[in-house]
Amino acid sequence: MTRKGGLGGQGMNALIKSTDKEIKRAVEEAEKNGILEIDISLIDVNPDQPRKVFNEEEIKGLAESIKENGLINPVTLREKDGKYQIISGERRFRAFKYLNKDKVPALVLKNIPDSKMLELTLVENIQRADLNAIEIARSYKKLIYDLNIKQEELANRVGKSRSTISNSMRILELNENIQNLILENKLTEGHARTILSFSDNDEERDLFAKEIIEKGYSVRECEKIVKEKKEIVKDNNDTQDKNIKKENKKDPNIKKLENDLEKIFSTKVNVIDKEGKEGKIIIEYYSADDLSRIMDILDNIHNINTNSIKHTIEY
Residues marked active site are found at 90
**Parallel, antiparallel, or unpaired for β 2-4 and 35-39?**
antiparallel
Query: Cα separation of 180 and 171, whole Å?
Result: 12
Query: Cα separation of 132 and 147, whole Å?
Result: 22
Cα 118–119–120 angle (5° rounding)? 90
Quote the crossing angle between the two packed helices 133-147 and 162-170, to the nearest 10°: 110
Query: Cα separation of 20 and 278, whole Å?
Result: 81
Query: Cα separation of 190 and 192, whole Å?
Result: 5
- Residue 254: burial class (beta carbons within 10 Å; 0-12, 13-18, 19+): middle
Of 315, 243, 256, 312, give the one whose Cα is nearest residue 286.
315
Sheet order of strands, 2-4 included: 2-4, 35-39, 103-109, 75-80, 83-88, 43-44
Are 290 and 267 contacting, i.e. CB atoms less than 8 angstroms apart? yes
- Phi first, then psi, for residue 39 (nearest 5°) are -60, 125
